[in-house]
Chains A and B, each alone.
Chain A
């Protein structure tokens, strides 16, 4: 068991392109940290540098108080589960799990005890004598995990372990991994591009974009206080709405009308000209179902498309955005591996809503949940730094009024 400290890690490939650029993450002993980001953000490279399959160009990797930059993978005592499992097809499930122990020259009795214990934990007992080729995807996944847990490693590393499973199995394995990690209390670093996995599994989540760490925080902090436009757009499904906004006093002008914000937020955003407002779909509601005691603003808009899902409904309202904002939003979509669609507002409504497609509806919005972003830098001007974890470039002490 050990803490993992990444200090200013840089990875440059032959062409000088930094796949990972000055990333510092401290993973505490026993902590479950997720590395998340769209493809090409360097999350897998970072994981492979922890385990030693990739050289570190600059920076220091410290595991359990020891600098491991120049140690071979076998000397780091880490266990890794690969995306495609990488089971040894010529060995039985038993021998697959026993493989690390055999390499460590453990005696037959210890091997048997540990393999049986691991297979019991993972419910693989009846498959021990089978070959990986005859197992289902979920079973192979469990064998790969068995191989990891059998050897008392200092930390577990997972490289998108669930991406090859179907949706139902993925949900099951997700809770299984979470349970296993809690039970063993072992330091874990988990790479995924799936934000649901990131939110549900991690104690803390590191969001990466093009080799740069964007924010390192608990799922709750990431969701409530995204450090910039990218994190805001990446975390949450359906994603956060981005609207052009101008602030005057404590009034924010949105495409649908004017809403009021708190004086503190207004002060931070003052004098910046055109901004991007970020509002999550669930901050909206059908005004007719909102308790009148709740504070917020209302506006009227024509609902273009309505998706009713039973417990909730999503209304889509297209709007026009000025070119500066559109450009920034298109760039954001590209960063998120998405496609540029029309600019539209997605509104989460209560399932009991009576609004129909084509109606002009009165929509209520909780403006206290609104964030304002600088369109030039993408920075969140209204972030609550006390509750936003670590954002590189910001130190938590100084207020972000700059």
Chain B
């Protein structure tokens, strides 16, 4: 009985979460005319199916291809930089006693609480002055600064879990501080590093506000912004099926990345280091 309840609950949550996704996929396989005329079924009615045509159209679109490249590039660079900086910062926070440690942590938290929208205006002005407007770094920098706090907090919690003796053992074994950090601490903190990486990547990939405000051309416009410019020939009649196909395509990279990173998030990696 309890098992049945659990299964039912899981099913309910799955339907709740996945129904919109399924619907977008369904839309992406319907032809434009079918949608305009109204096509209520989940599966395209006979004659309404567009097959892979919508996907072909989307991928043939130069603007969209550029947007995908922009998004992947910007998100990956922002993630990599953010994780590297956060790892070093979090290690220092977890291991060292220094003046202003509290200040760093509270400032980081304050930044994370700041509403994103309130910074768009000033950034727009600043970036135009610096020549960063409509460039990759122009997006990478705000993404990094908004994801760093969370990454630092996550990682410093992970580092605190790693016993001091691990580094000390490595140092006695002949490692420099840097070698101890790289060969012992970072591998042990890998689950934390990848958690931080996933969170950062999500933020960068899904961001719309910065993406639309700090770019003006396809030189650096990321996917969420690009999709909103995806109007087609008739501005009053948006190509819903094309948009759906675009949305599906833009989710694929993030699924791949999550699947890759998730494998690295193995709980209990530190077990066996020390006697419980």
Q: Is B173 an interface residue (CB 8 A)?
A: yes
Asked if B271 and A74 sit within 8 Å, CB to CB, the answer is no
Q: Is A284 an interface residue (CB 8 A)?
A: no
CA distance A197 to B22 in the complex (A): 68
Q: Is B61 an interface residue (CB 8 A)?
A: no
Q: Is A43 an interface residue (CB 8 A)?
A: no
**Given the contacts A84-B165, A90-B187, A74 and B270 also touching, CB distance less than 8 Å:** no
CA distance A172 to B174 in the complex (A): 30
Determine which of B168, B173, B179 lies in contact with A147 in the assembled complex, contact meaning CB atoms within 8 Å: B173
Asked if A86 and B273 sit within 8 Å, CB to CB, the answer is yes
Q: Is A318 an interface residue (CB 8 A)?
A: no
Residues in chain A near residue B165, CB distance under 8 A: 82, 84, 86
127-177 of chain B: CB within 8 A of chain A: 163, 165-166, 168-176
Q: Is A399 an interface residue (CB 8 A)?
A: no
Asked if A53 and B275 sit within 8 Å, CB to CB, the answer is no
Residues in chain B near residue A90, CB distance under 8 A: 187-188, 190, 269
Distance in angstroms from B166 CB to nearest chain A CB is 6
B253-276 near A? 1/0 per residue, CB < 8 Å: 000000000000000111111110
Residues in chain B near residue A131, CB distance under 8 A: 272
CA distance A78 to B173 in the complex (A): 8
Residues in chain B near residue A79, CB distance under 8 A: 172-173
Distance in angstroms from B106 CB to nearest chain A CB is 25
Asked if B272 and A132 sit within 8 Å, CB to CB, the answer is yes
Residues in chain A near residue B168, CB distance under 8 A: 53, 73, 82, 86
Asked if B275 and A74 sit within 8 Å, CB to CB, the answer is no
What residue of chain B has the Cβ atom nearest to residue A76's Cβ? B172
Q: Is A104 an interface residue (CB 8 A)?
A: yes
Q: Is B184 an interface residue (CB 8 A)?
A: yes
CA distance A104 to B172 in the complex (A): 12
Asked if B270 and A89 sit within 8 Å, CB to CB, the answer is yes
93-138 of chain B: CB within 8 A of chain A: none
Asked if A89 and B172 sit within 8 Å, CB to CB, the answer is no
Asked if A135 and B272 sit within 8 Å, CB to CB, the answer is yes
CA distance A135 to B273 in the complex (A): 11
Determine which of B166, B179, B268, B271 lies in contact with A88 in the assembled complex, contact meaning CB atoms within 8 Å: B166
CA distance A228 to B175 in the complex (A): 43
Asked if B272 and A74 sit within 8 Å, CB to CB, the answer is no
CA distance A21 to B57 in the complex (A): 81
Asked if B270 and A85 sit within 8 Å, CB to CB, the answer is no
Residues in chain B near residue A103, CB distance under 8 A: 173-175, 179, 183
Distance in angstroms from B108 CB to nearest chain A CB is 27
Determine which of B173, B176, B275 lies in contact with A99 in the assembled complex, contact meaning CB atoms within 8 Å: B173
Residues in chain A near residue B275, CB distance under 8 A: 84-85, 137, 140, 164
What residue of chain B has the Cβ atom nearest to residue A100's Cβ? B173
Distance in angstroms from B155 CB to nearest chain A CB is 17
CA distance A318 to B203 in the complex (A): 75
CA distance A80 to B172 in the complex (A): 7
Q: Is A270 an interface residue (CB 8 A)?
A: no
What residue of chain B has the Cβ atom nearest to residue A80's Cβ? B172
Counting chain A residues whose Cβ lies within 8 A of the other chain, the interface size class is: 20 to 34
CA distance A193 to B176 in the complex (A): 31
Residues in chain A near residue B163, CB distance under 8 A: 84, 86
Q: Is A263 an interface residue (CB 8 A)?
A: no
Residues in chain B near residue A137, CB distance under 8 A: 275
Residues in chain B near residue A86, CB distance under 8 A: 163, 165-166, 168-169, 273-274
Asked if B171 and A72 sit within 8 Å, CB to CB, the answer is yes
Residues in chain B near residue A52, CB distance under 8 A: 171-172
CA distance A164 to B171 in the complex (A): 23
Residues in chain B near residue A100, CB distance under 8 A: 173-174
CA distance A80 to B188 in the complex (A): 21
Asked if B272 and A89 sit within 8 Å, CB to CB, the answer is yes
**Given the contacts A53-B168, A53-B171, A74-B171, A87 and B176 also touching, CB distance less than 8 Å:** no
59-91 of chain A: CB within 8 A of chain B: 72-74, 78-80, 82, 84-90
187-236 of chain B: CB within 8 A of chain A: 187-188, 190
Q: Is A134 an interface residue (CB 8 A)?
A: yes
Q: Is A51 an interface residue (CB 8 A)?
A: yes
**Given the contacts A53-B168, A82-B165, A86-B163, A104 and B274 also touching, CB distance less than 8 Å:** no
**Given the contacts A82-B165, A103-B179, A88 and B273 also touching, CB distance less than 8 Å:** yes
**Given the contacts A85-B274, A86-B273, A89-B271, A74 and B169 also touching, CB distance less than 8 Å:** no
Q: Is A273 an interface residue (CB 8 A)?
A: no
Residues in chain A near residue B274, CB distance under 8 A: 84-87
What residue of chain B has the Cβ atom nearest to residue A132's Cβ? B272
Residues in chain A near residue B190, CB distance under 8 A: 90
Asked if B272 and A87 sit within 8 Å, CB to CB, the answer is yes
Asked if A140 and B171 sit within 8 Å, CB to CB, the answer is no
Distance in angstroms from B72 CB to nearest chain A CB is 30
What residue of chain A has the Cβ atom nearest to residue B186's Cβ? A90
Distance in angstroms from A17 CB to nearest chain B CB is 18
Q: Is A133 an interface residue (CB 8 A)?
A: yes
Q: Which residues does A use to contact B, with CB under 8 Å?
A: 51-53, 72-74, 78-80, 82, 84-90, 99-100, 103-104, 131-135, 137, 140, 147, 151, 164
In the A-B complex, list the 9 residue pairs whose CB atoms are closest, starting with the nearest: A133-B272, A84-B274, A86-B165, A86-B169, A132-B272, A100-B173, A89-B273, A164-B275, A103-B174
Task: List 14 extra interface pairs beyond A53-B172, A72-B171, CB under 8 A.
Answer: A52-B171, A73-B172, A78-B172, A80-B169, A80-B172, A84-B163, A85-B273, A86-B165, A88-B166, A89-B272, A99-B173, A99-B183, A133-B271, A137-B275
